[in-house]
Amino acid sequence: MTQTDTQPHLQDTAPAALAHSLLYCGTVTPLLFFGTTLLCGFILGDYNHLTRMVSELGALGTPTQYLFTAGLVVCALLSVAFIVGLLISCRHAKLSAVPVWLLLSYSVSIGGAGIFPFPTRLHLLIGMPSVLLFLSPLASLLLWRKTKSPSNLQVMAGLAFGFMALGFLTFFPSVLSSYIGLKQRLFHFGWCVWFTYLSTAFLGMWGKGNPLRMGGGL
């Protein structure tokens, strides 16, 4: 009997079809987010992604305000769909849903940041829940048992956490003081790594006609 034969797996069911479709949103969301920021920066012309805040792309009165808002709101909706796909997957794989629920902090923050433009007070307040996002990869390491976790979890969770942690340099103005845009984008790159990893890892598990492969790890 091979190792694969002894590993838990999911059979193809109706929830599998739904989860499989929704999980793609985890890959699309990062592409849309960075695509929106790059397009808005291009339209503004004199925008520097390393030295200026992301929120400035959608600031009140800017030519890109509504484009930025639309992009972020769609990102929020896609992330919610992605979370639903992950919840279905975790339920069937008997994995804790806590790391997935923590992703909602992104949905709330990114959607709110789009609806309430910079520099309104609500824009600043609605972005606060996103600080919880870095807890998702940590929670996955603690709560998803090695024998049931997606393959390469340790490495990818570590990378995602590391980049998001670097993003917290934003709260230390004296560090890289001229590069607030870079510091913010380190955080965004971190959640993009995490979303993309979870999307591809769970899609692989739900592969049609294939067992849900667990316990790869490193």
Residues 39-61: what's their mean pLDDT? 95
Residues belonging to the chain: 218
182 pLDDT higher than 60: yes
The pLDDT value given to residue 147: 66
The pLDDT value given to residue 150: 85
pLDDT band at 16 (very low <50, low <70, confident <90, very high): confident
7 pLDDT higher than 80: no
Q: Is 26 exposed, middle or buried (0-12, 13-18, 19+ CB in 10 A)?
A: buried
6 pLDDT higher than 60: no
* DSSP annotation string for 16-64: HHHHHHHHTHHHHHHHHHHHHHHHHHHHHSS--TTTS-GGGGG-TT-TT
Cα(211)–Cα(136) distance, integer angstroms: 25
What six digits make up the tokens of 37? 């920021």
Residues 118-147: what's their mean pLDDT? 89
pLDDT tens string 85-121: 999 999 988 899 999 999 999 999 999 999 999 999 8
Query: SS3 helix, strand, coil % of the chain, rounded to 5?
Result: 70, 0, 30
